[in-house]
Amino acid sequence: MSHETRTADARRLQTRQLRLAILLAAGTLLIELAGGILSGSLALVSDAGHVLTDVLALVLSLMAVRFASLPATSAKTFGYHRLEILTALLNGSLLVVISAGILYKAVRRFLAPEPIESSVMIGVALLGLLANLAGVVLLSRAPQNLNLRCARMHVIGDAFSSVGVLAAGGIIALTGWERLDAIMGGAIAVIIAVGSIRLVREAVDVLLEATPEGIDLDEVTRAIATVPGVIEVHDLHIWSITTGLPALSGHVRLDGAPPGSGDDMLNRIKETVRDRFGIVHTTIQIESRGYEELGDVH
């Protein structure tokens, strides 16, 4: 099966799973909003707002998957793959803001707790947790990239929120200690912030064309240098067009005439980086021993 066919199949599955996740999240939003109003629980109303941002984030993720499947053009020669990264950056940044908002509300609620109807709070939180777990399973079954991971992180954040609300509701029902709700909310905010900052950093690395995680530039250089006839590797760059699609460009200097044809040498180098590092999009410039480089080399 070709890379293009695998990619198309993966995007179809991602689209289907995202649509189902959006429906689940929208249903959770309505249930938690109604439950928060009926119970007087600020935690549930706040969590409903959290779910609303997640619905928007999932819609953005779905749009990114659809646009990324559009073919390349003469103006956009790499197609629309980077839309996935831009969307992941937006979603990750949104998560950082959400976690800060949750932490702020948790502090206010700790300082000034309000009475709530714990039985309604527990029931609604349980329904929300079940819906969120179903959403996590759906998104975990789809082929993963940074955009899908970011969407899944949103749903996982909702699941943690539901667990926190559920636990707090149970303990409040038994002890009447309403400040526990605020403590749990603050802990959830920290967990969401840590994961979202990591996602933002990964998205920025892709946009800055950093070497993909798990690939060592020096190791790739040494691997190419082991190909018979290669005496030098320089101006080597490895980056990601999008997550899961690394690319490589570099200059390779040969010791005299290459063994066999120049095409054979080029194929041996490409096979080396493909088989050892999974890099299939490569641009290699072959140079003779006496070639004098023009322009910047780095």
Domain containing 241 — which CATH number? 3.30.70.1350
In a domain, 212, yes or no: no
Domain identity same for 198 and 270 = no
pLDDT (average), residues 254-261? 67
Domain identity same for 96 and 183 = yes
In a domain, 94, yes or no: yes
Is the pLDDT at 147 greater than 60, yes or no?
yes
What's the structural domain count of the chain?
Answer: 2
Phi, psi of 283 (to 5 degrees): -130, 110
SS3 of 177, please?
A: coil
Domain identity same for 117 and 255 = no
**Two structure tokens written together for 204:** 């920025």
Domain of residue 148, residue span = 3-207
Distance (Å, rounded) from C-alpha 256 to C-alpha 295? 23
Residue at which a domain ends, from 207, 236, 258: 207
The confidence score (pLDDT) of residue 62 equals 80
Distance (Å, rounded) from C-alpha 113 to C-alpha 11? 46
Domain identity same for 9 and 68 = yes
Domain identity same for 163 and 95 = yes
Phi, psi of 232 (to 5 degrees): -160, 145
Long-range CB contacts for residues 98-101, cutoff 8 Å, separation at least 24: 98/50, 98/53, 98/157, 98/192, 99/157, 99/189, 99/190, 99/192, 99/193, 99/196, 100/189, 100/193
Domain identity same for 158 and 255 = no
Distance (Å, rounded) from C-alpha 40 to C-alpha 139? 32
Domain identity same for 198 and 250 = no
The confidence score (pLDDT) of residue 259 equals 56
229-to-32, 232, 235, 269, 291 alpha-carbon distances in Å: 67, 9, 18, 11, 15
* 146, 84 contact by CB (below 8 A): yes
Query: What is the band of 81 on the pLDDT scale with cuts at 50, 70, 90?
Result: confident
Domain identity same for 176 and 66 = yes
Is the pLDDT at 136 greater than 90, yes or no?
no
In a domain, 246, yes or no: yes
Domain identity same for 38 and 160 = yes
The pLDDT tens digits of the residues spanning 158-198 come to: 888 888 888 888 988 888 888 887 787 787 778 778 878 88
